[in-house]
Structure 1
């Protein structure tokens, strides 16, 4: 088994474990330990601002590093001074970003309409600068390690260790071992620990080369790397805006407490996209191979099958989450978070459509017309900003979720039309319609089940009815041969 394959298997396992830890922490653990305003401050203001600042400072050099490192590899023991070149421009950019964040503090504080929110943010605002530096260094070292095919430790540090450190800080605060200021310091320190550990790991494998050389500028022109980095910055920053702008605008237009409630609603809905992410890990390289071979027939078949599987899993998970929100919020034991119920339902709807649309974004990103992917991403980010700006003052948390839902539906309609119009590929057939009808029937049947007065028994009753009706309907309508084959295989093993 080659190093790439071994690293891929380890990274997949680490990613799934990290996602599970992250979901449990952000949905069930942190809301018990922190107030909505405290979650809104850390996850709704400090981290988004720092992430955007880190991306602007890095200027796409994490992606540029992975793109250009093959030209530097094995040119001397230090790869022709590649690592100092990778760090140099981002560190200069970070100095500019840090200055802008420091000077812009009064402006940022003015965004928060409630005086209590500004008073909560003001003592901790400058943590954004340190947090941005740690995130930037972590991402650059992660890109370098990926280029060296040493990815497992980096994945562990960022996917598992970081999340455990954040929860440890929250537990220490809840048990009064730390003041809230100490908690924010520990929160920032968790990202610093990851950056330091990555540097130690690079030193341990003999790849921490910090001495700059002129030879690095002769391998590839810096102007070319900056150009590519600028293109990737635009692409990456649109994704960051999409992930964070709704939470930030909720915080500025409503309150930090509302932002904290909205973050938990977002985290609850995140469970829906876990199987989609698992599919996309395979889909990207597979579709890229189909483009290389010019095999549109196999790509069309994969497009249809992946869309059908996403529809099958997505509908079941969306109904399972939506019908049991009372149970999920009951586990938190803080009634104030349940205000986000309607937001969860709207977010589930948008993410379900995004999953059902299949891999249209990957097809565009790997196609000869890949530059249109940037157009779609920037359009989506702009749409989310405008819709949030208009809808949050009118509808509150539901307005932010509605903006996200409308933007996702619109961009997926546009991407699907583009792929169909340009390459003649579209994933929808009668099976998709039958799955949706079966899902609607199963959802109604589960919703009609009575509340038994016990949360766990009600969960089992509704979940059991949903599973029974949904599975039976899918099998009878023959919409998912993969499910039928899986059940036959399981039954055969049971008989043996």
Structure 2
């Protein structure tokens, strides 16, 4: 667990520093300088490029993490694994690029504001290529247990660069078309930095070898990749379809307002995202060694940690939404308030059910994850089609909540039914009860003539009471040695 603690701690520090930068971008810069329609356009372009890259990858990012333990051999340059990891997806990218440009009229017909998207259509392909290469290199680094640098690029540097581009636009140095191209450019540039890092640590082995074909049959990797593709694309649909469908069914402005609501609620994803970077290859090793008892213990402890952090973050954000939207000086964005609350509920449920998805996708029965994700993706699209025309932004957020709750219930049951593992103990219930008590107390704090003062008072009551209950009743065993040391002093 030593490497898990070190990498997990680094990822957590980087992720939360990046969260602070993301909050600044979300609440001070992008909404201040961009109209909702302008922000919505950038979100739609990025969402299309993300799906484009996922289809091109053919699931090889997940396959790389799943099978890398069999190839790992530093002295033999991992048997030429990296060229194989990159080669098949690049062939897929060539095919997808042909389809992307042939299907341009059909894709543009889905949007009433066609001219805005058409102006940047070729650049979507460029962004998709760099997104593809980044995801493959990131998967390779996960297998090597080098995850901190990629976290730094994605969580910190990207947001610093976006902030810089937004400032240049706000100060009049960039026109909006130049801002969009710069925005896409900084997203793409991270890929080159990640390649430079691989070269720096001596792991950029690009020479193909025949030895890679003898370690594991390529057909096995392709088979896993096909299932992972459908699983991953389902997950991508779940996370991007709301912005795409709001842009299509409502307007680009609605997509921009929803993007801000989603960014506000994204804090709940940070702990699990930091943990997943190291948990994925670790779980693959547990399955390889058939060490189910250690996996079950890891499942329980990480779920408790995610629940503790998730409850605190969800309550802290939900109770102070008036303060957050007050910082955004464009009243139009406050239309996403209810959407934020629904998204917080969905992401909190995801935290409470733990690493069920990673356990399924790294297990011998990984094919069942495809059934869950494909069904969920279809349900997500159906729910958005049903709810967006009726409720707009709120409908998209409600669809996301129902989708997250459904897939986590299904996966948690499957892990328990198949492997007799579940993450729940009496401490989970205790944490939820402590959160309810502390949240109610903070909610009862009245508004005190200032958004800032009210936020500070509510946050102090929430944190003090919640932390006190957790420590008093031993709901976080990992904190007890620290508490005893503090009492001794």
TM-score range relative to shorter protein = 0.7 to 0.9
Distance 1:484 1:466 in 2: 19
Asked if structure 2 preserves the Cα contact closer than 8 Å seen for 1:18 and 1:160, the reply is yes
Matched, 1:57 2:56: yes
State the shift of 1:408 in Å: 1.4
Q: Give the aligned partner of residue 259 of structure 1.
A: 255
Matched, 1:482 2:477: yes
Cα deviation digits, residues 168-225 of structure 1 (max 9, x gap) = 2221111111111111111222133223334445566676666667776677665444
Q: Give the aligned partner of residue 47 of structure 1.
A: 46
Distance 1:217 1:295 in 2: 28
Matched, 1:393 2:392: no
Asked if structure 2 preserves the Cα contact closer than 8 Å seen for 1:14 and 1:160, the reply is yes
Cα 1:145–1:451 shift into 2, 3 Å: closer
Asked if structure 1 preserves the Cα contact closer than 8 Å seen for 2:27 and 2:327, the reply is no
Cα 1:276–1:189 shift into 2, 3 Å: closer
1:159-238 matches, within 5 Å, as: 159-201=155-197, 222-238=218-234
State the shift of 1:85 in Å: 4.3
Q: Give the aligned partner of residue 22 of structure 1.
A: 22
Distance 1:318 1:148 in 2: 33
**Higher deviation after alignment, 463-472 or 373-382:** 463-472
Provide the TM-score with structure 1 as the length reference: 0.85
Larger radius of gyration: 1
Matched, 1:249 2:245: yes
Distance 1:475 1:361 in 2: 30
Asked if structure 2 preserves the Cα contact closer than 8 Å seen for 1:435 and 1:474, the reply is yes
Cα 1:407–1:207 shift into 2, 3 Å: closer
1:440-459 matches, within 5 Å, as: 440-459=436-455
**Higher deviation after alignment, 389-398 or 310-319:** 310-319
Asked if structure 2 preserves the Cα contact closer than 8 Å seen for 1:432 and 1:479, the reply is no
Select the structure with the greater relative contact order (CA < 8 A; seq sep ≥ 6): 2
SS in 2 for 1:186: helix
CA-atom RMSD in angstroms: 3.5
Asked if structure 1 preserves the Cα contact closer than 8 Å seen for 2:142 and 2:278, the reply is no
Q: Give the aligned partner of residue 38 of structure 1.
A: 38
Unaligned runs of 5+ in 2: none
Asked if structure 2 preserves the Cα contact closer than 8 Å seen for 1:435 and 1:479, the reply is no
Matched, 1:132 2:148: no
Q: Give the aligned partner of residue 111 of structure 2.
A: 112
Distance 1:434 1:208 in 2: 48
Asked if structure 2 preserves the Cα contact closer than 8 Å seen for 1:54 and 1:136, the reply is yes
State the shift of 1:329 in Å: 1.1
Distance 1:422 1:70 in 2: 25
Provide the TM-score with structure 2 as the length reference: 0.86
Q: Which of residues 275, 281, 306 is equivalent to 2:271?
A: 275
Matched, 1:355 2:351: yes
Asked if structure 2 preserves the Cα contact closer than 8 Å seen for 1:69 and 1:82, the reply is no
Unaligned runs of 5+ in 1: none
Say how many residue pairs are matched: 488
Cα 1:179–1:69 shift into 2, 3 Å: farther
Distance 1:487 1:219 in 2: 46
State the shift of 1:101 in Å: 1.9
Distance 2:194 2:362 in 1: 30
Matched, 1:96 2:95: yes
